[in-house]
């Protein structure tokens, strides 16, 4: 502010200094107001970034099944028979490249003196890549497709969690499988020909706790000629919807048809809606903090009425008073927004590992690591939103300050 027979005008630097001085004079109240803005903006960044991280994680996990895969399951109460005849029938649908029937049942595996729970996946070992794209053999060779005595085991079966020298499984060793069958509990030993590397959980199976058994062995063990499900692989992702419609026409309500691509679109839609909901909740807290700015500014105007009268008597116009108090509110929003950016990034990184526990596919699965998606757009958008909230919250108090009568203000004690 340049004084010399009056106020010639208010420049940005003068306004900034005046606003900083006002905040310092009421540092306790100002700090709480700024903290409210910081917490609100920090929550927006944390919740939105974690929501986007979950979206990417779920997308990647579903895509591990292959976006062009379709799984057919018998509907509840259906008498549908999945046999080799049905496999041939499905393979004649245009666009279908692979039809992989399989068995899937929970079982207990005895490794040395250790028992491990998992699932038997009875499938042609040559088609395993369709269900677990990119899975690799760590030791040994895949079981022979026609064998009824050979098996491959997942990583956690070969290396149980509480591993000891006696429980470590090697290629060539026998593995005992305990499973309920129509004729009672059956215990059978099989020769391990391969150990698969770590893969993780997919949509339906945890490859690391699975035992891969060729179809002849699974058929004999389970005493069942009917497959539990069929996996269909399409030539292109664009053909998935067409093949699904053909399968539904073929079987009607007797089957449930599941595709990662359709699940993906549904899940992403749900996650996106949930992320927006969380963002709205955080935005409400920021708006509440804006009311705190308004309250603080109104109290400040009431306390500085005489000061405003002095400034007006020295020549400061109503517009300049309005601008000065409005700038104080903007500065409060800006400082709170900057603090919120730091808080939001810290919360995102701090809660990312903890949030992964909510995405376990089961108690035996590991927590899925979530990487929060913190983008410059999110940070800048939140900062700008904080400034806007501060600005709007300061409009009424600033206007109230500008309308104060200087004569009455000077008489105020």
| pTM beyond 0.85 | no
pLDDT under 50: residue ranges of the chain:
1-8, 361-365
| Terminal-to-terminal C-alpha distance of the chain | 25
pLDDT of residue 213: 95
pLDDT digits (tens, 9 = 90+) for 255-296: 998 887 777 777 778 878 877 887 787 788 778 888 877 877
Residues 276-282: contacts with CB under 8 Å, at least 24 apart: 278/47, 278/48, 278/51, 279/44, 279/47, 279/48, 279/51, 281/43, 281/47, 282/40, 282/43, 282/44, 282/46, 282/47, 282/48
Contact present, 53 and 371 (Cβ < 8 Å): yes
Tokens of 308: 């405003």
Interatomic CA distance for residues 362 and 261, integer angstroms: 22
Task: Check the CA dihedral 249-122-120-208 and report its sign.
Answer: negative
Task: Check the CA dihedral 313-318-319-323 and report its sign.
Answer: positive
pLDDT of residue 103: 93
Contact present, 152 and 195 (Cβ < 8 Å): yes
Contact present, 103 and 224 (Cβ < 8 Å): yes
pLDDT of residue 164: 55
Tokens of 194: 């391969």
pLDDT of residue 223: 84
Q: Would you report the helix, strand and coil content of the chain in percent, each value rounded to 5? A: 55, 20, 25
Interatomic CA distance for residues 399 and 97, integer angstroms: 72
Average pLDDT, the chain: 82
pLDDT of residue 63: 67
Tokens of 343: 């808080």
Tokens of 150: 């050979």
Which distant-in-sequence residues (6+ apart) come within 8 Å of 46 by Cβ? 282, 343, 344, 347, 348, 351, 372
pLDDT digits (tens, 9 = 90+) for 76-89: 888 888 999 999 99
Tokens of 217: 């062995």
Count, residues in the chain: 413
User: Could you tell me the CA-to-CA distances from 410 to 307, 311, 348, 397, 404 in Å, in that order?
Assistant: 8, 10, 51, 19, 10
pLDDT of residue 362: 46
């Amino acid at each position: 502010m340049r004084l010399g027979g009056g106020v010639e005008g208010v420049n940005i630097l003068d306004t900034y200094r005046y606003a900083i001085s006002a905040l310092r004079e009421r540092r306790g109240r100002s700090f709480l107001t700024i903290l409210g803005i910081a917490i609100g903006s920090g929550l927006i960044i944390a919740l939105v970034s974690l929501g986007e991280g979950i979206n990417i994680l779920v997308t990647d996990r579903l895509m591990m099944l292959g976006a062009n895969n379709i799984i057919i399951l018998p509907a509840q109460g259906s008498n549908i028979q999945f046999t080799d005849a049905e496999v041939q029938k499905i393979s004649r649908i245009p666009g279908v490249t692979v039809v992989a029937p399989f068995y899937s049942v929970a079982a207990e595996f005895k490794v040395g003196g250790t028992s491990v729970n998992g699932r038997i996946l009875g499938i042609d070992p040559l088609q395993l890549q369709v269900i677990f794209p990119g899975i690799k053999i760590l030791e040994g060779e895949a079981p022979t497709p026609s064998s009824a005595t050979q098996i491959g085991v997942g990583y956690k079966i070969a290396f149980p969690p509480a591993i000891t020298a006696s429980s470590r499984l090697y290629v060539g060793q026998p593995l005992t499988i305990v499973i309920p069958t129509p004729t009672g509990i059956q215990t059978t030993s099989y020769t391990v020909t391969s150990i698969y590397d770590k893969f993780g959980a997919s949509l339906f199976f945890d490859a690391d706790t699975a035992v891969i058994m060729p179809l002849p062995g699974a058929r004999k063990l389970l005493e069942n000629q009917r497959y539990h499900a069929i996996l269909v692989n399409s030539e292109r992702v664009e053909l998935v919807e067409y093949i699904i419609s053909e399968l539904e026409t073929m079987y009607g309500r007797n089957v449930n048809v599941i595709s990662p691509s359709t699940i993906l679109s549904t899940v992403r839609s749900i996650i996106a809606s949930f992320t927006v909901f969380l963002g709205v909740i955080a935005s409400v807290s920021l708006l509440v903090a804006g009311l705190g700015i308004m309250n603080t500014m109104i109290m400040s105007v009431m306390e500085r009425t005489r000061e405003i009268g002095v400034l007006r008597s020295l020549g400061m116009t109503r517009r300049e008073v309005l601008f000065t108090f409005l700038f104080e509110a903007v500065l409060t929003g800006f400082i709170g927004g900057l603090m919120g950016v730091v808080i939001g990034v810290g919360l995102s990184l701090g809660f990312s590992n903890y949030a992964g526990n909510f995405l376990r596919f089961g108690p035996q699965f590991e927590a899925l690591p979530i990487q929060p998606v913190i983008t410059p757009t999110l940070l800048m958008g939140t900062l700008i939103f904080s400034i806007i909230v501060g600005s709007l919250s300061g409009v009424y108090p600033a206007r109230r300050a500008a309308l104060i009568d200087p004569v009455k203000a000077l008489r105020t004690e």
